[in-house]
A and B are shown apart, each in its own frame.
Chain A
Amino acid sequence: MRAPHEIILETLTLRHGQVAAVFGVTGSFPPGSLTAIVGPNGAGKTTLLHALVGLHKVFTGRIYRGDLGRADIALLPQASQLDRSFPLTCLETVAMGHWGRVGPWRAVAPAQIAASRRALGEVGLEALAANPIGRLSAGQFQRVLVARLLVQDAPVLLLDEPFNAVDASTAQLIEGLILRWHEEGRTVIAVLHDMDLVRRLFPTTLLLAKVQVDWGPTERVLSAANRDQARAFSDQWSMPPWTDGAAPPAAAVRAQGDAVVPSAARSGAA
């Protein structure tokens, strides 16, 4: 008896080629939940986000998405991954958000153009609709991507480092939108680095270090002990055997995975 829109992970393991990226993550994102994913660099946070939206193949374990369809899970990508010299205007970029409704061939209706303009207005860029994205600052470009997310209007929103390299007012705007989405009952999952922000905004946190260190209420998850453990794991995988492309010490990862199962069980019970 799963509630609609719940996303459940069952001992999910993801790989990049031969290297383990995420190992044995178990837990759930209930509908309307607001979850931060934190962890050291290379902890598999982005990979996990990509797997949730179907961009990364599941190696073992399962992701249950209930009755969520493709268009119901929207991703805010890392802005730095996109080519900002691409000859598109702000409005064209935002209008991409209608893809799920118009597909490759249906015309974009005037109402959909208007909705795109409104979304640009919500992020304070209505005056720049016809501007090429190449002329935007990093913060403005992030706002355009957020406007595209608004147009997608999905019940589940995945944000990949939304506060990276943005100015203070853009950060404030995104913070306000996250709270609004939460009030609207949308599920919001964000990869973040700023622990103060996580504590302030996110009731639930998943601490990831390839393995699931802890997943539950933010205060408990971000305890000093948990964070020390995450750091210890990351020190292990930055040792030579992890970085030179050799086979992963799978046995070591498995041992760590077993060690943190109790915390996974705790979050399941929560």
Chain B
Amino acid sequence: MNSPAGAHGGQGAHEARPRGSASLAVEDLVAGYGEVLALDKVTITAAAASITAVLGANGAGKTTLLRAISGMVRPRGGRVLLDGADRAGRGPEDMARAGIAHVPEGQGVIAELTVEENLRIGMMSWPGIGWRRAERAAALAEAYERFSVLADRRRRLAATLSGGERQMLVIARALVARPRVLLLDEPSLGLAPRVMTQVMDMVVRLSRDNGITIVLVEQNARAALAIADRGVVLNLGRVVATAEARALATDVALRHHYLGF
């Protein structure tokens, strides 16, 4: 797989910049499935343009946290604050239009559509999409400039892409959507180590260069903490630690108990 092109994509990059950074805060969030309580009064904060790693063992509630933020799961209590405005209980369509992009684990690509169609799906949250032809073309050009591997395959079905290419497509689509907050669920799952490094580099660039606030759920705690500003550790639906990523990475007891490295 090709490396993505430079993060500073020239004039096109300016055109496709997100609609400003946004802070995200979750306060006392309660969510679950039927009788099962998956999140029990979870509180996290993510500063604008920061990377927050959400860590924990399987069943800790990481994926449910992202699903509750993006509206895929309706919270039973608590608040989801985007730049201070509570949006808890809104559906995923409204959350996407508010600027929250959620890339779910392993199902981000629509395999039956072409690469370009997948990218165009990313623009569906734009207001007045039908009238912004030039802007749409510029956003696509910028995505292809960043991800040259996608440019070469724009007419091919997404089903024909490799795992790494699919992940790049998902991230490119998120970028095209111009989100203010990006929720990434296990972006490195199933990828070769070299490709995983590329994906993590891209996550950093999205935050640093585009000002996107990123909440990253990742089984590979070491890799996630290496790129994150802050880390949150969940266990059985509760927050057991929240601190600077560097501090979490050097907390030997916490690592042994909850992070497995």
Same complex for A and B? Answer: no
